[in-house]
Chain A
Amino acid sequence: MKYLFVLLLLTNFHLLQSQSISISGSVTDYETGEKLIGVHILDLISGKGAVTNSFGFYSLTLSSTDSARLKFSYIGYNSLEEDIMTNSNQTLNISLSYGNTLKGITVFGTKEEPIEQRNEMGVLRIPVKQVEILPAIGGESDILKALQLMPGIQSGNEGSSGIYVRGGSPEQNLVILDDVPLYYVNHLGGFVSTFNTDALNSVKLIKGGFPAQYGGRLSSVLDIRMKEGNMKEFKGTGMIGMIACKLSVEGPIKKDTTSYIISFRRFMYDLITKPLSKIVFDGVGIGYTFYDFNVKVNHRISEKDHLLFSFYSGDDSFSFKSKDKYQTQNTLQKSKVQWGNLLSAARWNHIYNHKLFSNLTLSYTQYHYNNEHTQTFKSANFKDEFYNSYKSGINNFNTKIDFEYFQSSYFKMKFGYSGIYHTFKPGETRLKTIGDQISQNDTVFGNYYLNALENSVYLENDIFINKRIGANIGARITSYYVNDTVFFFPEPRVLVNYLTDKSYSIKASYSRMQQNIHLLSNSGTGMPTDLWLPTTRKIIPEKADQFALGFAKSLKDNMFELSIETYYKSMKNLISLKEGSSFSGVLADWENSVENDGIGVSYGIEFFIQKKSGRTTGWIGYTLSKTTRQFENINNGKPFNYKYDRTHDISVVWSYKLNENSDVSATWVFGTGNAFTLATGSYYIINEDELEEIHHYDGVNTFRMKPFHKLDIAINFKKQKKWGLRVWNFSIYNVYNRQNPYYYYYLNVDNYGTTEKKLYQQSLFPFIPSVSYAFKF
Chain B
Amino acid sequence: MITKNLNEFNKKIRSVFFIAFSFSIVLLFSCTKEVKMKLPAHEPKIVLNCIFNTDSNIEVFLHKSSGIFENHNPWIQNAIVNLYENNIFVEQLNHEQMGLYVSNIIANIGSEYRIEAFNEGFNMIKSNDIMPQKPILISSIFRDSIYFDAEDKYPVSQLKITIIDNPNMNNFYEVKLQTKEIPTGSSISEINDVNLRKNADPVLLNENMFDYYPKTILFSDKLFNGKTQTINIDYRGTIHISNGIYQPYDYELIVYVRSVSENYFNYKKTLYKHLFNQESDVWDGSGDPIQMYSNISGGYGIFSAYSEIKVILRK
Q: Which positions in A face B, CB cutoff 8 Å?
A: 138, 157, 188-189, 191, 242, 267, 269-270, 272-273, 276-277, 280, 282, 284, 286-288, 318, 320, 322-324, 326-327, 329, 331, 333, 335, 337, 371, 373, 375, 377, 384, 386, 388, 390, 429, 431, 433, 438, 445, 523-525, 527-529, 579-586, 588-589, 676-688, 692, 694-698, 703, 706, 739, 742-746, 754, 757-766, 768-771
Chain A residue at smallest Cβ distance from B39: A680
Interface of A is mostly: strand
The listed residue with most B CB atoms (<10 A of its CB), out of A324, A678, A681, A758, is A681
Interchain CB contact under 8 A, A686 and B51: yes
Instruction: Name the contact of A375 in the complex, choosing from B2, B9, B15 (C-beta under 8 A).
Output: B2
Q: Which positions in B face A, CB cutoff 8 Å?
A: 1-7, 9-10, 12-17, 19-20, 23-26, 28-37, 39-40, 42-44, 47, 49, 51, 61, 63-69, 71-72, 145, 147-151, 153, 155, 176, 193, 200, 202, 205-206, 208, 211, 215-216, 246, 269-271, 273-275, 278-280, 282-292, 300-302
Q: Chain A contacts of B292 at CB under 8 A?
A: 685, 694-696
Instruction: Name the contact of A288 in the complex, choosing from B20, B202, B273, B289 (C-beta under 8 A).
Output: B20
The listed residue with most B CB atoms (<10 A of its CB), out of A272, A579, A762, is A762
Q: Chain B contacts of A191 at CB under 8 A?
A: 17
The listed residue with most B CB atoms (<10 A of its CB), out of A191, A584, A768, is A584
A652 to B170: give the CA distance in the assembly, Å. Answer: 59
Q: Known: A331-B148, A745-B286. Contact between A242 and B33, CB under 8 A?
A: no
Instruction: Name the contact of A329 in the complex, choosing from B148, B278, B286 (C-beta under 8 A).
Output: B148
Nearest Cβ in chain A — how far from B30, in angstroms? 6
Interchain CB contact under 8 A, A583 and B208: yes
The listed residue with most B CB atoms (<10 A of its CB), out of A276, A583, A585, A685, is A685
Interchain CB contact under 8 A, B30 and A764: yes
Nearest Cβ in chain A — how far from B82, in angstroms? 21
Interchain CB contact under 8 A, A746 and B68: yes
A272 to B19: give the CA distance in the assembly, Å. Answer: 9
Interchain CB contact under 8 A, A696 and B2: no
Interchain CB contact under 8 A, B1 and A431: yes
Q: Chain A contacts of B13 at CB under 8 A?
A: 189, 288, 318, 337, 528
Q: Known: A580-B270, A698-B40, A760-B32. Contact between A326 and B148, CB under 8 A?
A: yes
Q: Chain A contacts of B64 at CB under 8 A?
A: 683
Nearest Cβ in chain A — how far from B155, in angstroms? 6
A687 to B211: give the CA distance in the assembly, Å. Answer: 18
Interchain CB contact under 8 A, A677 and B289: yes
Instruction: Name the contact of B7 in the complex, choosing from A375, A584, A703 (C-beta under 8 A).
Output: A584
Nearest Cβ in chain A — how far from B187, in angstroms? 21
Interchain CB contact under 8 A, B71 and A743: no
Interchain CB contact under 8 A, B24 and A189: no
Q: Chain B contacts of A377 at CB under 8 A?
A: 147-148
Q: Chain A contacts of B71 at CB under 8 A?
A: 754
Interchain CB contact under 8 A, A584 and B68: no
14 contacts across the A-B interface (CB closer than 8 A): A326-B155, A337-B13, A523-B284, A527-B10, A527-B284, A580-B269, A588-B206, A680-B40, A685-B49, A694-B292, A761-B32, A762-B280, A764-B31, A768-B24
A429 to B205: give the CA distance in the assembly, Å. Answer: 11
Nearest Cβ in chain A — how far from B270, in angstroms? 6
The listed residue with most A CB atoms (<10 A of its CB), out of B9, B17, B29, B270, is B9
A537 to B49: give the CA distance in the assembly, Å. Answer: 42
A138 to B284: give the CA distance in the assembly, Å. Answer: 22
Interchain CB contact under 8 A, B283 and A324: no
Chain A residue at smallest Cβ distance from B42: A681
Q: Chain B contacts of A745 at CB under 8 A?
A: 279-280, 286
Q: Chain A contacts of B145 at CB under 8 A?
A: 326
Nearest Cβ in chain B — how far from A462, in angstroms? 44
The listed residue with most B CB atoms (<10 A of its CB), out of A284, A386, A445, is A386
Chain A residue at smallest Cβ distance from B288: A523
Q: Known: A745-B280, A762-B282. Contact between A683 and B32, CB under 8 A?
A: no
Interchain CB contact under 8 A, B4 and A373: yes
A687 to B35: give the CA distance in the assembly, Å. Answer: 31
Interchain CB contact under 8 A, A769 and B19: no
Interchain CB contact under 8 A, B66 and A681: yes
Interchain CB contact under 8 A, B25 and A242: yes
Nearest Cβ in chain A — how far from B66, in angstroms? 6
Nearest Cβ in chain A — how far from B9, in angstroms? 5
Q: Chain B contacts of A686 at CB under 8 A?
A: 49, 51, 61
Given contacts A318-B12, A684-B72, 7 further A-B contacts (CB under 8 A): A324-B148, A326-B155, A431-B1, A584-B7, A682-B67, A745-B280, A760-B35
Chain A residue at smallest Cβ distance from B209: A582
Interchain CB contact under 8 A, B20 and A269: yes
Interchain CB contact under 8 A, A333 and B151: yes
Q: Chain B contacts of A276 at CB under 8 A?
A: 19, 23
